[in-house]
């Protein structure tokens, strides 16, 4: 295991001076400040509470918009890593970790990716998804140990999520992965964070103070969810797992997804329902193969060959040519 030196202010058991420094540091975080818009929040009616939250939530998309150039850089890096056989590994704690787990778990049914391709690490392990285990986020050693078990390499990209940008578990894991040669990125809601000092690219969505002070599962969580949606949707689209704006790599594992697959094929090719069902059956229940068969006018064997040559990129398989991503 390579030696990495964690930021000195992130000790698990801070001294009296360390605690004072931590307090001063927390005071500088925008996500920890009091929100004037929700003053007297506990005296409000249910409708007033909903209006205040809704008003603050409206600021999230604008904050994410400012970070789009960095989001685009990460999208392309994730696409390159996955195309080259690498992995996307999220690292998070608390709400950020749960959002990361959600995004990772939804890639296989949406894009038929292997669970190996998009992974997550959660401070406290899988049990922390349902039960609070936030004490684990203070451990630099756990962050390094958990990412070391995944053996990150130059083919992988490791993305750390922490609203504050200072969570020791996340920062140390990203730092370790970078020392192993992995590409790294961070998603946070504060500028000039510890995470930004170790990640290759940092996506900052400064959403401002929360309605309930410090409750970063709210605006900060919404911003992180939006950003992860962009990253994986963008990367999968760049890889050709989306055709036009259709989910052509959908994994038809249940009745709803089978119906979705039929509708997608009808929309992508203009055939009627009977022809779509017939083609899906002859294509071995593969929507990408079905789309290539119908759009390119080829048989299953040729469609499979084209998809193999294009690394699964449906549009390139239809055109039977390779273009740079």
By annotation, the residues acting in catalysis are 106, 137
Short-list 102, 96, 65, 103, CA closest to 205: 65
Tokens, residue 198: 């170790």
As given in the structure block, the two tokens for residue 137 are: 């986020």
3-state secondary structure of 92: strand
Q: Do the beta carbons of residue 82 and residue 232 sit within 8 Å?
A: no
Rounded-to-integer distance, Cα 146 and Cα 64, Å: 29
Residues in the chain, overall count: 325
Q: Tokens 């002859």 sit at which residue?
A: 282
Q: How far apart are CA 212 and CA 292, in angstroms?
A: 51
The residue whose two tokens read 């309930």 is 212
Count CB-CB contacts under 10 A for residue 35.
16
Tell me whether residue 80 is exposed, middle or buried, using C-beta atoms within 10 angstroms of its C-beta: 0 to 12, 13 to 18, 19 or more.
Answer: middle
Q: How far apart are CA 68 and CA 74, in angstroms?
A: 10
Nearest to 93 by CA among 43, 49, 56, 136: 136
Q: In whole angstroms, what is the distance from residue 112 CA to residue 235 CA?
A: 14
User: Coil, strand or helix: which one is 160?
Assistant: strand
Question: Which has the closest alpha carbon to 195: 236, 227, 158?
Answer: 158
C-alpha–C-alpha distance, residues 99 and 311, integer Å: 29
Beta bridge pairs of residue 118: 88
């Amino acid at each position: 295991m390579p030696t990495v030196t964690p930021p000195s202010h992130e000790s698990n058991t801070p001294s009296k001076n360390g605690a004072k420094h931590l307090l001063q540091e927390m005071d500088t975080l925008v996500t920890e400040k009091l929100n004037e818009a929700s003053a007297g929040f506990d005296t409000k009616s249910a409708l007033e509470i909903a209006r205040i939250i809704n008003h603050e939530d409206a600021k999230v998309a604008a904050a994410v918009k400012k970070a789009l150039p960095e989001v685009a850089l990460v999208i392309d890096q994730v696409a390159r890593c996955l195309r080259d056989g690498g992995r996307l590994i999220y690292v998070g704690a608390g709400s950020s970790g749960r959002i990361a787990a959600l995004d990772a778990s939804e890639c296989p049914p949406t894009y038929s990716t292997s669970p190996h391709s998009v992974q997550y690490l959660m401070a406290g392990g899988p049990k922390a998804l349902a039960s609070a285990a936030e004490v684990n986020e203070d451990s630099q050693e756990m962050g390094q140990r958990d990412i070391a078990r995944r053996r990150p390499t130059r083919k992988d990209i490791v993305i750390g999520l922490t609203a504050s940008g200072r969570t020791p578990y996340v920062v140390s894991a990203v730092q370790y992965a970078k020392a192993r040669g992995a590409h790294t990125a961070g998603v946070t809601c504060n500028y000039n964070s510890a995470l930004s000092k170790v990640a290759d690219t940092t996506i900052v969505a400064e959403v401002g103070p929360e309605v309930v002070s410090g409750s970063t599962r709210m605006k900060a969580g919404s911003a992180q969810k939006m950003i992860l949606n962009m990253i994986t949707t963008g990367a999968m689209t760049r890889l050709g797992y989306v055709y036009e704006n259709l989910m052509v790599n959908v994994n038809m594992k249940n009745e709803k997804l089978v119906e979705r697959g039929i509708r997608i094929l009808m929309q992508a090719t203009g055939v009627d329902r009977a022809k779509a069902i017939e083609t899906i059956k002859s294509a071995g229940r593969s929507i990408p193969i079905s789309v290539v068969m119908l759009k390119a006018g080829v048989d299953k064997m040729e469609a499979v060959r084209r998809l193999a040559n294009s690394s699964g990129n449906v549009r390139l398989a239809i055109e039977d040519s390779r273009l740079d991503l």
